């Protein structure tokens, strides 16, 4: 009788829930994703469009009225899980979706800041994240919201309720795999990479059916590894032992930990690949393809269309994972289908995005000394005196020759995304001026153990600043203006048609600059460091700005001496929303 009553109660509850069902949520279509940069009333992609130019056509807010920009609400992520908050939020139909540290996802009323639902991943013991417990964002498609977790899982949630629709393993977290990037939706497929390069995992890009989560294709980025298409082996990446000797390719790194961009016109996905493993380059002679590279991939079958390696035979952890941003460049009276990337190695590259042909590379930080320059083919001209020495050639065999190299291994620019304005024709690059003492040590691969073979100490290049927000003209290769910040810059950048550039600082400020001159025109203190990517959207006829706040990321964990510049900064976990009231917008 008791079971019968429970059953009837359950049936009655189900009927009641159907009877009181809320209006159907407007699905995010493929066209919504492709047009994201042209629809300022929402933000449905990481990067404000698949090209990730992080440019908004909104121009209500400008340098003249920005003093009227005021906080509308602040939403706390709650609990004791503060740490670094690197998420870029999404906004659709009055709902804001933002991820938090420790693999959490929130749906919040975009007008009031009231929480609609929360998903908190149950992380197991023994996760192995490299650089804090961050998450950089989610993806929207149809009636679902997707994000990855630190134990290397991909989760699809119902947009309206936050309930799990499906959950899939990306890989084994006990081997060092994790996931921190925002997924990308391309032609009905959800595209992801992997994190874990410091543990000798092999980087790859893979596509799943967004409805079911089932794998469509896999593309390893290190030569010698076989791809997969529709459940069967497809083609090998490169040729075994062509640029990796012996078995080194089996644990070659190249993690695709930052996610990608997409050019719908060319139907190409662009992914950066991380550092080779181990850091000790003496153990892996050769170019070590395709680590520290940019790859163009066919989203239909996972085949590599072209590759460009920024740091062949990387010996400094310069990585190559930084975002590749498609844009059209005017050069010699012609329009060039280009793409740009600010590399960890300190050079700003412009490539032909149709075929990967090298166009230019310009230093964007000071005192680069690991290379004497870049040759006509885009290959570094190494200064071997500034490559860490082989420990096998040292007296005790335990520590190779230490060198001082610039930039430091955290890079001329790290994960924090650049922005491009088609109005000013400038890229806005959050850079850092630092170098490092670095030396090599012996190391052997062991599953789930750090695979570095190196030691390091980061040091600031200048006494008065480390962070440097630079406006770079990709056509002339000149720095148009620079804003210097005492502490390192670790936040992403947003630019708008209102001639504004937004970014955050570890000191706790969200700041706005004149996009043409670099003059600081507004700032607001959020009470903790800002290391996230700002967004803007139009709501009720007003322009809004939003950013996650919460100090953390790699700098306090790995920064050594430079971390002293951020000592005492409180951690946090919140999202701040600002609005320009209509009455002030018209002044």
Query: What is the rounded radius of gyration, in angstroms, for the C-alpha atoms of the chain?
Result: 23
Percent of the chain with pLDDT over 70: 95
Query: Cα 374 from chain centroid?
Result: 25
CA angle 120–121–125, rounded 5-degree value:
130
Write down the catalytic residue from 32, 314, 317, 343.
317
pLDDT of residue 580: 95
Distance (Å, whole) CA 127 – CA 133: 10
pLDDT digits (tens, 9 = 90+) for 114-130: 999 999 999 999 998 88
Segment 226-254 mean pLDDT = 97
Cβ proximity of 233 and 249 under 8 Å = no
Distance (Å, whole) CA 361 – CA 323: 15
pLDDT of residue 445: 93
Q: Output the CA–CA distances (angstroms, integers) from residue 417 to 322, 399, 429, 568, in the order listed.
A: 8, 35, 8, 26
Q: In the predicted model, what is the mean pLDDT of the chain?
A: 93
Cβ proximity of 466 and 478 under 8 Å = no
pLDDT of residue 19: 35
Segment 550-570 mean pLDDT = 86
Is 317 noted as a catalytic residue in this protein?
yes
Contacts of 407 (CB under 8 A, 6+ apart): 318, 344, 345, 346, 365, 368, 432, 433, 434, 435, 436
Cβ proximity of 164 and 70 under 8 Å = no
Tell me: pLDDT of 308 over 60.
Answer: yes
Residue 384's closest CA among 398, 369, 394, 374? 369
Tell me: pLDDT of 586 over 70.
Answer: no
Segment 385-389 mean pLDDT = 97
DSSP tally for the chain: helices H, then strands E: 4, 40
pLDDT digits (tens, 9 = 90+) for 445-483: 999 999 999 999 999 999 999 999 999 999 999 999 999
pLDDT digits (tens, 9 = 90+) for 227-240: 999 999 999 999 99
Segment 481-490 mean pLDDT = 97
pLDDT of residue 131: 87
pLDDT digits (tens, 9 = 90+) for 388-413: 999 999 988 899 999 999 999 999 99
Segment 296-310 mean pLDDT = 98
User: Going edge to edge, which strands form the sheet with 215-220?
Assistant: 184-186, 189-192, 204-209, 215-220, 226-229, 232-236
Tell me: pLDDT of 280 over 80.
Answer: yes
Domain ranges, ordered by start, for the chain: 25-69+82-585
Residue with tokens 């950066």: 272
Binding-site residue ranges for Ca(2+): 198, 275, 317
Segment 349-371 mean pLDDT = 98
Residue with tokens 């997924």: 183
Min mean pLDDT across 161-165, 243-247, 583-587 is at 583-587
- HSE at residue 87, side-chain half, CA atoms within 13 A, is 34
> Can you tell me whether residue 562 is helix, strand or coil?
helix
Tell me: pLDDT of 375 over 50.
Answer: yes
Class of domain 25-69+82-585: mainly beta
Binding-site residue ranges for pyrroloquinoline quinone: 86, 136, 180, 414-415
pLDDT digits (tens, 9 = 90+) for 2-23: 333 333 333 333 333 333 344 4
Q: C-alpha dihedral over 549, 105, 269, 31, to 10 degrees?
A: -110
């Amino acid at each position: 009788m008791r079971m019968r009553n429970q059953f009837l109660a359950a049936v009655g509850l189900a009927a009641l829930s159907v009877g009181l069902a809320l209006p159907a949520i407007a699905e995010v279509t493929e066209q919504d994703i492709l047009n994201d940069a042209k629809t300022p009333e929402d933000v449905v992609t990481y990067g404000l469009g698949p090209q990730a130019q992080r440019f908004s056509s909104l121009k209500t807010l400008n340098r003249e009225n920005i003093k009227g920009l005021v906080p509308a609400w602040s939403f706390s992520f709650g609990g004791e899980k503060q740490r670094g908050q690197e998420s870029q939020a999404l906004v659709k139909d009055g709902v804001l979706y933002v991820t938090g540290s420790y693999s959490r996802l929130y749906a919040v009323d975009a007008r009031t800041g009231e929480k609609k639902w929360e998903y908190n991943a149950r992380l197991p013991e023994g996760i192995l994240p490299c650089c804090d417990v961050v998450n950089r964002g989610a993806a929207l498609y149809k009636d679902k919201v997707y994000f990855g977790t630190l134990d290397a899982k991909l989760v699809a949630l119902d947009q309206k309720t936050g309930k799990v629709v499906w959950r899939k393993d990306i890989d084994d977290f006990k081997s060092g795999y994790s996931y921190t990037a925002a997924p990308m939706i391309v032609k009905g497929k959800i595209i992801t990479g992997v994190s874990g390069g410091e543990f000798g995992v092999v980087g790859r890009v893979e596509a799943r059916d967004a409805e079911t989560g089932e794998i469509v294709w896999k593309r390893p980025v290190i030569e010698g590894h076989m791809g997969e298409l529709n459940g069967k082996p497809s083609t090998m990446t490169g040729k075994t032992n062509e640029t990796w000797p012996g078995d080194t390719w089996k644990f070659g790194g190249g993690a695709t930990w930052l996610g990608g961009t997409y050019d719908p016109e060319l139907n190409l996905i662009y992914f950066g690949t991380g550092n080779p493993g181990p850091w000790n380059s003496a153990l892996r002679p050769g170019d070590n393809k395709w680590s520290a590279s940019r790859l163009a991939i066919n989203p239909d079958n996972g085949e590599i269309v072209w590759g460009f390696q920024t740091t062949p035979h990387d010996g400094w952890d310069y990585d190559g994972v930084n975002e590749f941003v498609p844009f059209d460049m005017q050069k010699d009276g012609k329009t060039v289908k280009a793409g740009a990337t600010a590399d960890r190695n300190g050079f700003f590259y412009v490539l032909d995005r149709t075929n990967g042909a090298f166009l230019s590379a310009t230093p964007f930080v000071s005192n680069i000394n690991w290379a004497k320059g870049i040759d006509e083919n885009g290959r570094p001209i190494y200064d071997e005196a500034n490559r860490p020495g082989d420990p096998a050639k040292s007296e005790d065999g335990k520590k190779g020759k230490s060198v001082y190299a610039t930039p430091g291994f955290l890079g001329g620019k790290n994960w924090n995304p650049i922005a491009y304005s088609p109005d000013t024709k400038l890229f806005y690059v959050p850079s850092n001026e630092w170098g490092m003492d670095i030396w090599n040590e012996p190391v052997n691969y062991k599953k789930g153990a750090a695979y570095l073979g190196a030691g390091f100490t980061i040091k600031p290049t200048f006494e008065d600043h480390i962070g440097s927000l630079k406006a770079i003209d990709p056509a002339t290769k000149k720095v148009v203006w620079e804003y210097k910040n005492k502490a390192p810059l670790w936040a992403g950048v947003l630019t708008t048609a209102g001639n504004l550039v937004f970014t955050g600082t570890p000191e706790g400020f969200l700041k706005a600059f004149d996009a043409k001159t670099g003059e600081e025109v507004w700032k607001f203190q959020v009470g903790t460091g800002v290391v996230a990517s700002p967004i803007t959207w139009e709501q009720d006829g007003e322009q809004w700005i939003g950013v996650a706040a919460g100090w953390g990321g790699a700098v306090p964990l790995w920064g050594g001496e430079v971390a002293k510049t951020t000592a005492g900064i409180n951690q946090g976990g919140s999202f701040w929303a600002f609005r320009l009231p209509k009455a002030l917008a018209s002044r």
